Structure formats: structure tokens, C-alpha cells
Amino acid sequence: MAPPLKGEAMNEVKAALGGLGLLLRGDDRALLNYDFSEGGFWRSFRWPLLALLFYVVLMQPDAAELAVWGDNTLGYAAARGAEFLLAWFVYLLLMAGVSRAFGLGNRFALFVVLYNWAQAITTGATLPLLAATDLGLLGPGILQGWSTALLLAWLYIVARIARIGLGAAWSLALAAAMLDLVVSILLHRAIDSVL
């Protein structure tokens, strides 16, 4: 299958943005905004990877982080990018097991598509702030405040994704959100301890 044309890709992004808005309100109609075909499933991985690429390019470590890397900005960026990819893979792998264990495995592909698009949108929303910080237009405190707000929003988004995508009960949906956080923290600590 040929990749979508520019217009088709833009329509897919617009639909995903609308879908995320519905998802945040707990509206099951959010599912109508996404392509759950096999092609749509695989395309959903493209957008977070593209956003990650821009994120890694724009990400600027502070002096303490960079000191660990011997002032190697590229090495730092590559490690943080790899950390993101590893956390993404491990989390989805764990959620595949969780969804099967709770009899929700038949909806796992829906969960993945929603999760991937949410990753792309939230990472994409951070890019202008990173760029403005890099250009000196915003102080680092703005980015730290944004990161905290985004973390709280992300936990809510993942819980909604589990609720609507998997059809999970609230308790399982909240556990899915916390699992995402735990995986990210543990991998971050493990990578930092190795370095």
C-alpha cells in the first residue's frame, strides 16, 4: 500500500486531534476519528516517531546532564531518544499482557492506535516550547512547568485511552496510566545508572 498523500496525512492528523478532544471528554465517538485498519495501525507508529525525531533535535540538556556525557550533546540526545523508544515498546508489551489477562486482548489494537496518536500529539505540543526555550524566548522554568502539567494530563489521557480503547473498568484504566509512569521512571533510572 502506498503511503498517504499529503492531504490524506493532514486529514488523518486533523481527525486524530478531534478524536483526542472527544477522548478527553470520555466520548466513545472518539473511535470514529481513527483508522483501525491494518494500514492505519502501522501508520499510527509513524507520527510519534516523527515527533520524537524533532523532540530529540530540539531537546537541550542542562549542564549537569551534559557533564555526564562529556559535553556530547548528540550522545545525550540519542540516549534519551532510545529511552523513549524503549519505554514505548516495553509499555505496549506489558499492556498486551494486561489486556489479555483481563479478557480485553481483542481491543488491544484500538488501544495502540489511540496511544500512538496521543503520544504524537502531546510530544508535538511540546515542540514549540522546546524551540522557544532553545531560542531564548522562554526561560527553562516554563518548560519545567509544562512538563509537570503534561505529565498530569498524560496520566489522564492514558486512563481515557484504556477506558475507551480497551473498554477497561476505571480501576484498570487508572492502573494502565500508572504503569506507563512506572515504566518511564524505571527505565530512566536504569539508563542513568548505566551511564
Domain residue ranges in the chain? 6-194
- Per-residue pLDDT at 195: 63
pTM for the structure as a whole: 0.88
Residue 98 carries which side chain, given as an amino acid letter? V
Those residues whose C-beta lies under 8 Å from the C-beta of residue 36, and which sit 6 or more positions away, are 109, 110, 113
* pLDDT tens across the length of the chain (195 residues): 445 557 888 889 899 999 999 999 999 999 999 999 999 999 999 988 888 888 887 776 767 777 777 777 777 788 888 888 999 999 999 999 999 999 999 999 999 999 999 999 998 888 888 888 878 888 878 878 888 899 999 999 999 999 999 999 999 999 999 999 999 999 888 877 776
The rounded distance, in Å, linking the Cα atoms of 124 and 90 is 22
Q: Are 161 and 23 in contact (CB under 8 A)?
A: yes
Residue 187 CA to its chain's centroid (Å): 15
- Per-residue pLDDT at 2: 45
Q: What number of H helices and E strands is found in the chain? A: 8, 0
Sort 165 into a burial class: Cβ within 10 Å, 0-12 / 13-18 / 19+.
Answer: buried
